[in-house]
Structure 1
Amino acid sequence: MFIDEEQNHIHELKAGDFVKVAVSAKRFNVNQIGHGGPVDNVRQVMEKAGIVQYVDRDGDALVIFQDGIRNHINPESLEKVNPEDYNDKDSCDGLKEGACVIVDADRARFKQVQTETIPWDDGFYAAAGKVGWVQKIHPSGKIASVNIDYGSFPLNSALVKRASLVDMQKHLIPSNSPDFARGDLVKVNVSAEELKVQQVGHGGYIASTKNISGCICQYMQVLVTMEAGSVCFIDCEGDVYVRFNSERMCLNPTVLTKVTAKSHEDMLHVGDLVSIESDLEKFKSLQTPYEHGGYQEDMAQVCGKTARVMSIFNDKRILVKVLGRPLNLNPALLRRLGEPGTDTACWKSATICAPGKHDWSTGRSLLCVVCGECTQHGKMCPAPRRPDRTPGSVTGCGNGHAGCDDCGACRACAEDAVTKEEVEALANETIEKIMRHEGCMQLQMTPRQLL
């Protein structure tokens, strides 16, 4: 009995554990029977260390190796290792397609080096300091296309190096997710000075001034006292993106607290689901031109539809999203559905978005409000099904597609999927344009002269 308990303890793995294959190739494939089946590339990972991304419902571990190989492995074939023993291994291999890499985090150097080969765009900063996977290396060796957070970045190869196991753990394995869900009503619960401190490393502190309610003031300070905001999603690092009246902010979850609004109150909040007046004649009469933006003939199609409050300008004009379009409406035309920030039951039948009009995000995988499944893995989500989970809440399986911030649907339910082939084709086209431009510069010829 003691031996069985000790054996179970040895093979009890969790996300973030560092492991290696500790059996022979023959024994490995025998152990794989009933655990994902034998694999062809077992010899490529023998004695190499990897990291457990998650453990599925059957107890098998999805292990990611530094060269990009991923396998569901019977834990009987694995043993835990010290990552420091593998820091210097494979460092001389250079960049390889499929390898896990980390991008230089020094923003000043990043821009300087990147502009040596690629025309600069501030969007490249999103890759700085991140871990990703080499999708393609250009024949010149100067540019590597790296997939990061489900986006593809053409980067100067000098900015990219092989990620260590610790790098992989820090960036690919989510820490405990904050106890927030999409649609939650939240408010900043600290002072302005404390907010400034807590925002270091979590989106920063915005010191720019804005005109809010007729007053010029520090925007982040206004967050301390302004109305509550609505949770959009939780990013890969666990920070919470919240939509406030004027814009969406990235915030440290420790500065936020949930707000419980009274269900009988008349006040609407950002993020509320609302039903639009179904009586067309009443709609026309209340939607006056000067105070509420006026009526247009194509507004008839939104009568009786379910929308979502995106911004509240004043007591006479509210911005909603319905059928994929933003509309300024008279608040008298809107009736809240469910309780503020806590009721996602109405989302399933809502008409907030339309095909091609979604606001997709990546971060912690959430529960789709339509099908109730994981926004990344669907029904194949490896995370245990908790009885208390609700639509919009974190699944616990890690990072991936987080669905639409506005309607809460996954890509499958929205029928608005972007295929891997489309992403790769766009990335390859970008690299070819860049290299063609570089070749023209070297030859001091224009693209037209090369044709």
Structure 2
Amino acid sequence: MLCLNPAALEKHTEKEGTVFSKGDFVRVCQDIDKLKQLQELPGRGGFSDDMKAVVGKTGKVTKVNINGNVQMKMWDMMWSMNPAALAKISDPTNDKDCDASGEVARFEPEDIVQVVESEETLRKQQISHGGFTEEMTGIVGKQGVVRGVDLDGDVAVSFADGTRWRLNPLSLSKMDPEAVPVDVSAELMVGDLVRIDDDEDKAKRLQEGKENIGWTVSMQNTLGEVGRLVHVSPFNDIFRVRVGGQKWLYRREMLKKVTLEDLELEHSKDDGTTTKRSYRKDLARGDHVKILETVDTDTLREKQKGHGGYADGMEENRKEIGVVQSIDDDGDIHVLYPKGLRLCFHPEVIGKVEKTEGLSVGDLVKIDSDEDKVKEEQKGHGEWVDDMKSSLGHVGRVVKILSPQDVRVKIDGRTWTYNRKVLQNIKSPGLTEWGEATICARGKHDWSSGLSLVCTKCGECTEYGEVCPARKTRPKDPGRVCGCGKGSAGCDDCGWCKRCAEERKNLPDGEESDSDSDSDNDIGKILSQHRARGLAAVLQACTLQPIASFLDALTDLQPEKDEPSRKGVEIVELPKEEDRNQLFEREILPKMKRAIKMLHPKRDCAEIASVLEADVLTPFKVYDRETERILLGDTMSAVSLDAAKQLTTYLNFLQAGIQTDDKSHYACIQVIRNICQQASAISLPFCHQLGKTGMLTTFVSELDLQPGYLPAKLFTYILTSAIAILRSCARVIDNHSYLRGAKIEECLKRLLQFNDPVIACSAILILGHIIRDQSSQCLRLPDEITSYLAKCMRDSLNARENDQEEELAPESFLSLDIAMGIKVLACRDDNRQSFVQNGCIPLLMRLIRVGNDLEKVHAAKALHALAFSENIQQKMKANEDLISLLAKVEEDDEDYEVKAAVSDSLSMIQYGPERHYDYDVFVSCSKLDLPWVEQQLMPLLERDDMDLKVCLASRDFLGGASILDSVIKAIQNSRRIILVVSSNFIKSEWCKHEMKKALDKRFREGNCLIPIRIDNCNIPDMIQDFVSLEFSADDESLDQAMVHQLKKTLKPET
């Protein structure tokens, strides 16, 4: 499908007497200059070379947008046109006066024809018949095969060089097919299998050559791979190919047609020994597995290198049975455990286990069809709600085991808790049983890529379907590895391929879904409150390049510099002070949760955008107090809400071009991206969840956008949006593996070549986070970059001291950003020297004087990092103003975190880099659990062979000291934090505070948090993702395995 970006907001007045309707036939004006002028009117989307092919041509109206723009179909492609460029005509198939009518009957499909011998004649006759391009000189005088005739009588002809052109019938003469055989087997047609050339230098040269269509680092992974052709541009110069579930644009010279027989032959010669084909043939999606007993911890660590790495959860789940979720293209096995943890294993470290009698995660179960029985059994076991009635008698899949009696089952896209007694376990399910299951809702699948599998619905390959090269040797069992190689692996939940799931994003180009948006009562009630806050109107946009169309449409969404906010959005007036807190907790946060939960692909994106902006984005802008922002961040990061997944799933849906093609589509994209940017800026847990959604890979791929291919304003918008989110998410250590896996370093280093200092400096700040644990690889900063950062910080501080807004301009950085950047990038001596030479020490001192608590903390930590160079440390030590400032803040400041950071810096400057933790372990627990902690846990932790120094508040805090300050100090100065989680712990406000501080430390410093659950309480949302050690507080002694695990985890590193 090819759409041309159309009008913005104004309603177009049709030409006199012209009213377009769906089904009308229209003709595009024949004056190319006039067409270009009309398309380039404000909001009309501009003019591209491909539009030369529609000059003077006839099409059929498929849709008229509310702003008057006309969408028409021509040559199986969709075009969006300024209505002023169109004229309504009668049905050309009945029009005997049509210029070409006499020629239409002359040609039939499969006729052999010859093009005129004169290039000049061909040029003239192509005017208003598809246009002429220089590539067409190669068909002058050549023979070809007719493929079809359009409404104007123009003939589609295929040639031996693999191209297809639409030609004026007057330029063609029919030939004798027996006398002049023509081989057009090299022609590339939509649906063909093609192999991408594996020559990277050639690829870069062609992709970045004439009319640059772009080359990205991510495209390296497609070289040499086989994909399916999904679109051919009108002039045969750009081809869109789907490879491994994604679509890419290539030049014709990069593609070679392959047949199923070619792939089968190639597959039969593969002996299965290459890394590309190496996999466990005995494992399938849904199989039960566990870590082999013969694999010890050292072996496991060694095997995991390059295969997902070693994770703490592996050892804790050594004896647990998990279920295979998917198998990636390296053959690594992704396993889901009963408590929801998902781990990636080298295929040689796990083994298949026989199905047990009880239920396990991943099992198929059938819900009892007796409504009265189910209602009775559900009492005390998740209870009964009327919506469960639709699940009776259906087959779903176990997603979590809450207890021996309570089981979470996913069915029809919803997850319910059932009593085990109403579930029938389906043992050894085959294709029939899987086919009866209704696990996912339509449009709500968890797609994955890796090795292609056997679809659990149709039994065909999840990538190639019926034309799979391994079809003759493919196993029959659903979920097993197909054997053809990598590609789409289907849905991790239900195992269906995309063809069976009938995903709208895989409909042929130009085909639209007729499904309507949801109109349920909930969203209706919400919208009735927000009609006045709706986003500005609708705008059609192109889908040739989804990201390009997104950027194009955003042109008219950007507010003018003097506009305080988007037009149409209600200005929020804050309530009186005494009402503000109540309003925030009773109305703002519940509305935010409700808005997130309403996200669904079937709902109209204009309505969703309106509600999201009013109830989610606006609170971030209006409620700016630190406590309020913390609550906003906690709400967005709550595991029960799962906002990161909800937002990114819908964002992927929109950016894939599935939704309606009006302006509200792109406005909704902008709102969601802004929400992600706001939430990630204030909440590290939200950043962590964002990383787990896989969306960071998409944001990284956006860094590869070519500046010459997109308008500068749009290019800057999408790039800065992606960079802002990535910069926030890079603060979380757990996200580093996702970012490195997406090859972010290469993308960021390319951005350093930009003339835009904002983009370059943003890239450096992200790189600083990513490589901070690898000092030897830390990036060497150019002096001009450190100079620019120092200038930005100086301007920012000057503005503040002059009572101006600190954020002076879009190209400036906040002082806090720069202080954090200095802290993480000062891992090389030459970087430290450059920062100091550009005057960063006096600037950091100024920030400590005038900044807020958070800025003071990071300014002090930046000074601490700079002092690692001995000559700088000596200069700082001799700086009396600096020593005096730090000593005064250490003594007078009331915030403990500020005191701690300043104290560390002062110690570093005065005594050098030696620093030790005061404690190895801090134990956080409820006072009601102290007897067990003192009698069972503490004796273990303080055994001689453990060699640990432990801090327990009831024993080690000094009398008379502030409890809050003592807690913060103990957490900051402890190597590890143990949370003794219980019902008492959850009810304690002090314990919740300690847990939040421990989480902050965990996200800054890495793996330092160890939850221990001692009763059957629910693990708090904030730490559900962490593997916890579990045993009963009633046990007289700790289990030996627990003792061993605690010793291994807690013993100080040597």
Q: Give your verdict on TM over 0.5.
A: yes
- Structure 1 residues 390, 397: CA separation in 2 closer, same or farther (over 3 Å shift)? same
Letter in 2 for 1:184: D
Alignment partner of 2:505: what SS? coil
Alignment check: 8 A CA contact 2:208 2:215 kept: no
- 1:131 is matched with which residue? 221
- Structure 1 residues 280, 206: CA separation in 2 closer, same or farther (over 3 Å shift)? same
Letter in 1 for 2:404: D
Letter in 2 for 1:257: G
- 1:379, 1:148 → 2: CA distance? 17
- 1:373 is matched with which residue? 460
- 1:91, 1:281 → 2: CA distance? 65
Alignment partner of 1:220: what SS? helix
- 1:94, 1:381 → 2: CA distance? 30
- 2:161, 2:275 → 1: CA distance? 26
Letter in 1 for 2:394: K
- 1:247 is matched with which residue? 341
- 1:382, 1:270 → 2: CA distance? 33
- Structure 1 residues 425, 282: CA separation in 2 closer, same or farther (over 3 Å shift)? farther
Alignment check: 8 A CA contact 1:230 1:243 kept: yes
Residue 322 (structure 1) aligned to one of 411, 425, 445: 411
Residue 195 (structure 1) aligned to one of 293, 300, 318: 300
Residue 426 (structure 1) aligned to one of 546, 550, 566: 546
- 1:399 is matched with which residue? 486
Alignment check: 8 A CA contact 2:474 2:483 kept: no
Q: Deviations over 1:198-253 (max 9, x none)?
A: 2111111223xxxxxxxxxxx22122111x21112211222111221122222211
Pairing 1:238–2:331 present: yes
Larger radius of gyration: 2
Q: Deviations over 1:131-154 (max 9, x none)?
A: 247x9xxxxxxxxx9988434799
Q: Alpha-carbon deviation of 1:355? A: 0.6
- 1:385, 1:437 → 2: CA distance? 49
- 2:471, 2:386 → 1: CA distance? 49
Alignment partner of 1:332: what SS? helix
Letter in 2 for 1:413: C
Q: Deviations over 1:379-412 (max 9, x none)?
A: 1111142275322112221211111122221111
Pairing 1:93–2:205 present: yes
- 2:311, 2:248 → 1: CA distance? 27
Q: Alpha-carbon deviation of 1:93? A: 2.6
- 1:244, 1:405 → 2: CA distance? 14
Residue 365 (structure 2) aligned to one of 253, 261, 274: 274
Letter in 2 for 1:428: A
Alignment partner of 2:348: what SS? helix
Q: Alpha-carbon deviation of 1:302? A: 0.6
- 1:374, 1:100 → 2: CA distance? 31
Q: Alpha-carbon deviation of 1:173? A: 8.2
Letter in 2 for 1:361: S
Pairing 1:355–2:355 present: no
Alignment check: 8 A CA contact 1:152 1:427 kept: no
Alignment check: 8 A CA contact 1:102 1:132 kept: no
- 1:150 is matched with which residue? 245
Residue 283 (structure 1) aligned to one of 364, 374, 378: 374
Residue 280 (structure 2) aligned to one of 178, 193, 201: 178
Letter in 2 for 1:96: E
- Structure 1 residues 359, 438: CA separation in 2 closer, same or farther (over 3 Å shift)? closer
- 1:178, 1:100 → 2: CA distance? 37
TM-score by length of 2: 0.26
Alignment check: 8 A CA contact 1:277 1:304 kept: yes
Alignment partner of 1:336: what SS? strand
Alignment partner of 2:464: what SS? coil
- 1:64, 1:439 → 2: CA distance? 31
- Structure 1 residues 261, 66: CA separation in 2 closer, same or farther (over 3 Å shift)? closer
Q: Percent identity?
A: 34
Letter in 2 for 1:383: A
- Structure 1 residues 375, 412: CA separation in 2 closer, same or farther (over 3 Å shift)? same
- 2:454, 2:203 → 1: CA distance? 39
- 1:275, 1:319 → 2: CA distance? 13
- 2:460, 2:196 → 1: CA distance? 24
- 1:320, 1:192 → 2: CA distance? 34
- 2:248, 2:415 → 1: CA distance? 31
Alignment check: 8 A CA contact 1:100 1:131 kept: no
Alignment partner of 2:286: what SS? coil
Range with bigger deviation, 242-251 or 417-426? 417-426
- 1:40, 1:424 → 2: CA distance? 25
Structure 1, unpaired ranges of 5+? 1-36, 43-60, 68-86, 104-126, 136-144, 155-161, 163-168, 208-218, 447-451
Residue pairs, 1:432-447, within 5 angstroms = 432=552, 435-436=712-713
Alignment check: 8 A CA contact 1:310 1:319 kept: yes
- 1:312 is matched with which residue? 401
- 1:3 is matched with which residue? none
Letter in 2 for 1:297: D
- Structure 1 residues 323, 63: CA separation in 2 closer, same or farther (over 3 Å shift)? closer
Letter in 2 for 1:206: A
Letter in 2 for 1:294: E
- 2:284, 2:456 → 1: CA distance? 11
Alignment partner of 1:346: what SS? helix
Alignment partner of 1:328: what SS? strand
- 1:241, 1:399 → 2: CA distance? 15
- Structure 1 residues 65, 354: CA separation in 2 closer, same or farther (over 3 Å shift)? same
Q: Deviations over 1:177-198 (max 9, x none)?
A: 2222111111111333332222
- 1:437, 1:329 → 2: CA distance? 50
Residue 205 (structure 1) aligned to one of 307, 310, 313: 310
Alignment check: 8 A CA contact 1:383 1:397 kept: yes
- 1:258 is matched with which residue? 352
Q: Alpha-carbon deviation of 1:416? A: 1.8
Alignment partner of 1:308: what SS? strand
Alignment partner of 1:292: what SS? coil
Q: Alpha-carbon deviation of 1:421? A: 5.3
- 1:174, 1:373 → 2: CA distance? 21
- Structure 1 residues 351, 254: CA separation in 2 closer, same or farther (over 3 Å shift)? same
Higher relative contact order (CA closer than 8 Å, sequence separation 6+): 1
Q: Alpha-carbon deviation of 1:273? A: 0.5
- 2:420 is matched with which residue? 331
Alignment check: 8 A CA contact 1:192 1:220 kept: no
Pairing 1:66–2:198 present: yes
RMSD over equivalenced CA pairs, Å: 4.1
Q: Alpha-carbon deviation of 1:304? A: 1.1
- 1:325, 1:192 → 2: CA distance? 38
- 2:716, 2:457 → 1: CA distance? 50
- 1:376, 1:40 → 2: CA distance? 29
TM-score by length of 1: 0.58
Letter in 2 for 1:244: Y
Q: Deviations over 1:346-404 (max 9, x none)?
A: 10111212211222111111111221111111111111422753221122212111111
- Structure 1 residues 421, 395: CA separation in 2 closer, same or farther (over 3 Å shift)? same
- 1:390, 1:323 → 2: CA distance? 23
Alignment check: 8 A CA contact 1:287 1:295 kept: yes
Q: Alpha-carbon deviation of 1:328? A: 1.6
